[in-house]
Amino acid sequence: MRIKYLLIIIVMLSFFNGFAQVSVGAFGGLNVSKLRGDQPVGSEFRSPVGVDLGVLVDYKFSEQFTLSLQPSFSKKGAKISYIVKGEDELVDSVSINFNYLAIPLLLKIAAKNNRYYAIGGLEAGFPMSATANYINESNNEVDIIDYLADVVVVMHFGIGYRIPIGKPTLYVEGRYSQGINNIIPFENPEYNAFPRVRTSAFQLLFGIELPLF
């Protein structure tokens, strides 16, 4: 019985190796992130522009399917704006900045022409730094990293387009990401400016891939 299972594994590995292609690359782009969830009364969450920079390792195991590991640095943020009596527009009172080490594992599903593809998967995000700048209090900046969850799990969905330029390939991607767990795991009595909120973001990424074999 064990020999039978071993033969099945060998056949499966042989099948994948027939398609296997490993590529490496790098990418960068912009994100527009937003907090979703509880917010202070009389306030609104606003979305600044952030930056994403990373590298990738792709394992193409069939003509249409590729697993992609994409460790990256992600700079995101949010602004909490309040209604102020006598003001026609909301006034920004708190500016929040997050820097994350992001480790996404994604699946790419290519069209038959291998140009267009869909992409999706999960990401584990580890906070590297986080600050809240209280604009109406003489720009008083507070380090809030100790209040954040140790890991934020994020779902990714998107589409991409490849542009071959010889052996390397350029690509452009549009993605939507949605946090699964709260960035602050519980309502902390010491810091409750934005309890029970999750992150979401739109990303526009540009990158290059280079097949190794």
Per-residue pLDDT of the chain (213 residues; tens, 9 = 90+): 555 554 554 444 444 455 678 899 999 999 998 877 666 666 667 778 899 999 999 998 888 999 999 999 999 887 777 666 555 555 567 778 889 999 999 999 999 888 999 999 999 999 999 888 877 655 577 888 888 888 999 999 999 999 999 889 999 999 999 999 888 766 554 555 556 778 889 999 999 999 987
The rounded Cα 53 to chain-centroid distance in angstroms is: 11
Q: Find the largest Cα–Cα distance for the chain.
A: 80
Cβ 82 vs Cβ 90: under 8 Å: yes
Cβ 128 vs Cβ 148: under 8 Å: no
**Which residue type, as a one-letter code, is found at position 6?**
L
Residue 22 class from Cβ within 10 Å (0-12 exposed, 13-18 middle, 19+ buried)?
Answer: exposed
CA 115 vs CA 11, 159, 173: distances in Å = 30, 11, 12
Structure token pair of residue 135: 């604009």
DSSP-derived letter for residue 188 is: B
Confidence at residue 10, expressed as pLDDT on a 0 to 100 scale: 46
- Sorted by where each starts, the structural domains of the chain and their CATH numbers stand as 19-211 (2.40.160.20)
The rounded Cα 13 to chain-centroid distance in angstroms is: 31
The rounded Cα 143 to chain-centroid distance in angstroms is: 22
Closest CA to 137 of 96, 105, 94: 94
Q: How far apart are CA 29 and CA 83, in angstroms?
A: 33
Confidence at residue 144, expressed as pLDDT on a 0 to 100 scale: 84
Q: How far apart are CA 133 and CA 139, in angstroms?
A: 6
